[in-house]
Structure 1
Amino acid sequence: MSDQTDGNDETTDAATAPSESVPRPTVLFVDDEPFILDGLRRTLRHRRNLWNMEFIEGGKAALDRIAAGPFDVIVSDMRMPDVDGAAVLEAAATEHPESLRYILTGYADKEYLLRALGPAQRFFAKPCDAAEIAASIEKALTLRTMLPTEALRELMGRLKSVPVPSDTYYALLQQLDSPTASAKSVGAVLEEDLGLTTQILRLSNSAYFGLPKRLTRAQEAVEMLGMESIRALLTVAEFFLLTPLSSALADECKKLAERSMRIGGYARKFAQRHGMDPDIVTHAATAGLLSHIGSLVLQVNEPNSYARAMRYLDQHDTSVGAVERAMFGATHSELSAYLVAVWGFADPVVEAIAFHHHPAKAGPPERGALCAVHVAQAMAGADTGGEDAALFVHHGHEPVLDWDYLDALGLGDPLRAELGQAQEDG
């Protein structure tokens, strides 16, 4: 049973209504308890002219709605008697991979929680504040509007080879379905693929991550870096290092993999050094690792055009983004963010990838993953020896760092001091 709120109430605040030329996003709320849905409907009434909201009773009805057509966001309860929330979000991820998928779960739902780790992009603990859910949805939708979605879809339609998660990746998600999932069991799945295990351990043990000890087993890598970063390393290993390519293109992909590792490692160190929360540290490392997956996709699919774009960049006073947009319709950052969003990585990861060259475009400055990746890409872009030497380097005829953004966060002076110390030591 689905109940749609159409937003035509006379008391709607017209000042908050979107432009008629901009379609309102469709947001689905799924729960088996009618009174929960009624409460959400009342609490979110003020958004009825901003969103098309549908309130769906039960998991089976949700599956029917998912099959019926597209939507932008789905928020589902976990425990439902007919079809549970994990199954609902799995169907949403399969049928509409670009959708935003949130789950509501209680502390007693641990076995269900593990099953939702793949398709769910954010978890809310019950009882939860509807205003918090609405704010999260609004932020995520705003992020999506900042990306040139239609241009990216057109670009994706032209590409012949687009990376998709591997069988090993899906085996990892299946392992997470088990209520006894652990670093040991996830590591065991990884170790069934010797090539991937070797690559992941090599990448994990690189100097960029600065781990306190050398890792020798996949289980240790999962324990030290966390599942999200392992997913990112899996992506780097498969698409940058293990994809069959011509020798020339393989060399370029290895260079991109090296750059991605440096960005991920520097982002992790920067976030740790400045006391950011562990979740932010993980998001920063993950975003850094995946920030150039779009570059790989462009090189693999249109190597001649990509090479021509880079030659043009070297010869003209313009930016990487401007050249890529003119050549392909979107930038490597936007394409990377689009792919990572479809694969279900967290919104802070998507945001950090999309705007790591121009963080001010994402909104008010925050000490988060975006800030860390912005600094890390400058460090990784240094042609000289030390990582801090990149802080004033220009790449592609544009400033690498947005000092106004960093100063607003109180990070500009510490970075300048670090640069000065590095120059004295050097």
Structure 2
Amino acid sequence: MAKNILFIDDEPEIGNLLLEIFEDNKLYNLFFTSDPGELFSVLDKNEIYVVFADLHMPEKNGIELLELIREKYPQTYRVLFSSNLERNLSAEASRAAHLTLLKPFDKRKIEDILKRIDILTKYLSDTSLMAVINGMSELPTIPDTYVKLDKALSQEDMSLMKIAEIISQDISFTTKILKIVNSSFFGLAKQISDPSQAVSFLGRNILKSLLLFHHLSVKYCINKDLHRYFEEMWNHGNKVGRFAKEIIRKTLGNEIEMMDDAYIAGLLHDIGKIVFMEIKDYPERVIELMKQENIRYSIAEKHLYGTSHAEVGAYFLALWGMPERIVEFVYNHKKAVEINTAHFNFEIAVNIANLFADLPEFDFQNLRDIRLSATPKDWLEYYNKLKEESLQKNNNEKEF
């Protein structure tokens, strides 16, 4: 059955362009209005899947209209579009709209938005998750640098120098990526000091994920304790991602796309912990309950909030346009699922990497030195062997 889409705009050329974009598309029915008075009549008479509203309308602006729609039709997806979304309106926009869209339109942009909304449908049916998100005083937004970078990367002829120029506008992030590529994780023979070299080395998709993580951690890092918390999370995510890439390399060879997916999933798998910072007394309450009840972190989150950082992280990654395969991995990474050793993919590589990353005194060089016939079963057997040795060592130390 075709889904209904409503566009609220007072420019006739926009309507003509959209009719052209959807000309051969049988999946959607289009409705148009420029009259706020007519808006709710259309919504009452039709089950509208998505509303697109122009920010700059003559009577009520798009944010005000979407706020009214949110109150009366909370199940309807809301997209705000504008040729230029002013910075001072971004917080208001994030509350009123699920997504924002910059004009001018093209087919790719519209299709991308609709695909992201289809992915979001799964998460909006989770009442516990939505209760947490609706309780946030301010929803985290994508940084300006990320938007510029995403736009640049969508252009096939965009040079590395231009991408590096965009990155260099964010000095703290430039410092961070240079620190990453020059760390022992990558084992480079020569230090990299040029952002364009770092871009070339890391790859474009990994770069976007690093930027997202960095922006969110900087936003919430307001004291020394939280700085340490974020550094541990950053180091763990980077370690899991790097381990997963190496596990794939040893198992299948240089499967670049799979290795990039693994690194991104490893880096971002705990991103929900950062987003949860919008909730008062997080993570202190979680850590306290975890110690009191001797339960896992994600179980403590479920007890307190009805959902965990896995679901929260997946929701926002879907909102921000991350590939569905990454979103799904983040959503499921805390579920008690036995690792399937019959086949190998990036999800299995990240799950195995997460196990190795939690082993004390086990670093990237240890992983590189491993000589295995390299199947998922081999990796798990070797992990269990190391874990047993570590437990035995701890028991021996306690006896002395």
Same fold? TM cut 0.5 = yes
Verify the 8 A CA contact 2:339 2:348 in the aligned structure 1.
no
1:185 matched residue in structure 2: 162
Name the structure 2 match of 1:403.
none
Could you say which residue in structure 2 is the equivalent of 1:314? 291
**Residues 190 and 196 in structure 1, CA contact (< 8 A), matched pair in contact too:** yes
Residues 5 and 48 in structure 2, CA contact (< 8 A), matched pair in contact too: no
Residue 54 of structure 1 corresponds to: 28
Cα shift readout 1:309-344 (whole Å, capped 9, x = no counterpart): 222223325333222112122101111111111110
The answer to whether residue 233 in structure 2 is matched with residue 256 in structure 1 is yes
Is contact 1:151-1:329 (8 Å) kept? yes
1:415 to 358, 380, 384: 380
Give the equivalent residue in structure 2 for 1:285.
263
Q: Separation in 1 of the partners of 2:267 and 2:279?
A: 21
Matching residue of 1:331: 308
The CA deviation at 1:410 is: 5.2
Is 1:120–2:120 an aligned residue pair?
Answer: no
TM norm structure 2? 0.64
* Superposed displacement of residue 263, structure 1: 1.8
Tell me if the contact between 1:118 and 1:344 (Cα under 8 Å) persists in the aligned partners.
no
1:237 aligns with 2:209: no
Instruction: List per-residue Cα deviations over 1:361-384 (Å, max 9, x = no partner).
Output: 999986333222212222222234
Provide Cα deviations, 1:94-117, integer angstroms capped at 9, x if missing partner: 996469x9xxxxxxxxxx99x958
| Structure with larger Rg | 2
Structure 2: state its 5+ residue gaps.
7-17, 33-38, 53-78, 83-92, 368-373, 394-400
State the Cα distance separating 1:198 from its structure 2 match: 0.7
Q: Distance in 2 between matches of 1:176 and 1:26?
A: 31
SS in 2 for 1:71: strand
Indicate the SS of the match to 1:274.
helix
Q: Against the structure 1 CA distance between its residues 145 and 165, is the aligned structure 2 distance closer, same or farther, given a 3 Å change threshold?
A: closer
- TM superposition score normalised by structure 1: 0.60
Instruction: Please say if residues 150 and 208 of structure 2, whose CA atoms lie closer than 8 Å, have aligned partners that are also in contact.
Output: no
Distance in 2 between the 1:219 and 1:55 partners? Answer: 45
Distance 2:5 2:181 in 1: 39
Instruction: Kindly report the root-mean-square deviation, in angstroms, between the aligned alpha carbons of the 2 structures.
Output: 4.8
Cα distance 1:418–1:361, how it changes in 2: closer, same or farther (>3 A)?
closer
**Superposition pairs for residues 158-173 of structure 1, below 5 Å?**
158-173=135-150
The match for 1:207 among 184, 207, 232 is 184
Give, as a single letter, the amino acid of the residue that structure 1 aligns with 2:264.
T
- In structure 2, relative to structure 1, the CA distance for the partners of 1:73 and 1:161 (3 Å cut) is closer
Indicate conservation of the 8 Å contact 1:26/1:54, yes or no. Answer: yes
Partner of residue 342, structure 1: 319
Amino acid at match of 2:239: R
**Residues paired across the two proteins, number:** 323
Q: 2:28 is matched by which residue type in structure 1?
A: E
1:295 match: 273
Give the gaps of 5 or more residues in structure 1.
7-24, 42-52, 59-64, 75-88, 102-111, 123-135, 391-408
